[in-house]
Structure 1
Amino acid sequence: MESVKALKWRYATKKFDAAKILPDDKVKILKKSFNLTATSYGLQPLKLVVVQNKELQQKLMDASYGQNQVGTASHVLVICIEKEVGKAFIENYFKYVKDIRNTPDDILHPFRESLIGDFENKPVDEVRVWATHQAYLVLGTLLTVCAVEEIDSCPMEGFEPSKYDEILGLDEHNLKSVLALPVGYRSQDDFFAELKKVRRPLEETIIEY
């Protein structure tokens, strides 16, 4: 029940304590959690940009419709998708599989070629939608880990991706921003921290056979 208790503790933080900074070990946990998240085929078509530069955070806040969580958080995690997931990207993934697991080529080859063919036949926009779905998987993992580690967070779609991309120079990395997650520690005067969580009753959200 400790995990349930942690999920009850978390909330979408509206006001961070700007004076409190996450220690390096907590940031490292978030980075590792990002990297360990399940993704379709295990391809990880994502990268995480970790922003702690306060000047950059202010610029990102302006591109987030002025939401002050972005400017006052200890760190802002920006979840990005790869613009292209093609033959080279997939071959690189299978190189990791071979190096780490020492899987024989005769086993890897059919799966690798099937994936390459599948992705080469998909329109770019369809691949980006698929990659964005993986970003939401990552967001769910990070929110849960934040709760367990007692790190406050606020998941955000409400920002201008094109401006984030420009501010962070994401075009140079062939990336597009899709989600933001300011993290840190709640302010003691955040009114929302003490409100009871509102959820539909279990009997309305669970179907059992």
Structure 2
Amino acid sequence: MNNYIENLNWRYATKKFNPEKEVSDENLEILLDSIRLSASSYGLQPYEVIVIKDPEVKDKLKSSAFGQPQITDSSYLLVFAYRIDIDQAYLDKFIENNSKTRNKPIKEFDGLKEMIQNSVLTFSQEMKEVWASRQAYIAIGNLLSAAAELKIDTCPMEGFNPDEFDELLHLESKNLKSIALTTIGYRSENDGLQNEKKVRKSKEELFTRI
């Protein structure tokens, strides 16, 4: 655990990546697994992640992210997008996956199905979208921690135009809306932020112990 905390202290939101140094395929798959295994409400995972390596696509998206160099200089750009179609069909598919994965009759999941029907499926569309986007942020947190363990740099980003990203990536046709980005790669030696002390609240300020 000491190493884990040390690695969290090592990581920071990298502003300048080294475009010559690429994340290996093996490490990319580990990072994607960290996203896939993230916690989410009921395990519904109401989001998808678009993994972009193609330099031409990244270059097109860069102008919709205010020209930030992380978009093109990092090895990969990950676009987190939440689903807007959290409905009965989505729930039925989720229950089928539970049944298949755990090799149990689908009837055994009637209680879980009813619980979700009486909670998430009763939300307004606006509430569903807020709820779904929050789940995506949990996955981003998992990704940042996993990357730090591998000494891979990341930069979570909200500074982009979601509507333009959605159009360029044809997300509407997939019932998706982009909510946040994360770039992954390796820091440039010219990124001065890597030498700055991490600024965080003290434990006394942050935690209330009862």
Give TM-score scaled by structure 1 length.
0.96
Correspondence 1:76-115 to 2 at 5 A? 76-115=77-116
Structure 1: state its 5+ residue gaps.
none
Look up the SS of the partner of 1:155 in the other structure.
Answer: strand
Aligned residues: 209
Name which of structure 1's ranges 118-127 and 35-44 shifts more when overlaid on structure 2: 118-127
Distance 1:105 1:178 in 2: 33
**Contact residue 80 and residue 178 of structure 2 kept, 8 A:** yes
Distance 1:57 1:100 in 2: 36
Residue type of the partner of 1:51? I
Distance 1:201 1:122 in 2: 37
Q: Say whether residues 1:50 and 2:75 are aligned partners.
A: no
CA RMSD of aligned residues (A): 1.2
Distance 1:129 1:179 in 2: 13
Distance 1:153 1:60 in 2: 18
Aligned in 2, Cα 1:97/1:13: closer, same or farther, shift over 3 Å? same
Q: Say whether residues 1:186 and 2:180 are aligned partners.
A: no
Deviation at 1:54, TM superposition (A): 0.8
Deviation at 1:118, TM superposition (A): 3.4
Look up the SS of the partner of 1:204 in the other structure.
Answer: helix
2:12 maps to: 11
Residue type of the partner of 1:92? K
**Contact residue 95 and residue 106 of structure 2 kept, 8 A:** no
Residue type of the partner of 1:181? T
Which string of whole-angstrom CA distances, capped at 9 and with x for unpartnered residues, describes residues 48-77 of structure 1? 100001111112111011111112111001
Distance 2:112 2:190 in 1: 54
Distance 2:89 2:142 in 1: 27
**Contact residue 156 and residue 183 of structure 2 kept, 8 A:** yes
Which string of whole-angstrom CA distances, capped at 9 and with x for unpartnered residues, describes residues 2-53 of structure 1? 1100000001101000111111001101111111000000001111100001
Correspondence 1:1-209 to 2 at 5 A? 1-209=2-210
Give TM-score scaled by structure 2 length.
0.95
Distance 2:193 2:122 in 1: 47
Residue type of the partner of 1:189? N
Residue type of the partner of 1:146? A
**Contact residue 52 and residue 58 of structure 2 kept, 8 A:** yes
Which string of whole-angstrom CA distances, capped at 9 and with x for unpartnered residues, describes residues 148-196 of structure 1? 1111011101100011111111122211110100110000111111111
Look up the SS of the partner of 1:78 in the other structure.
Answer: strand
Deviation at 1:117, TM superposition (A): 4.4
Distance 1:116 1:203 in 2: 41
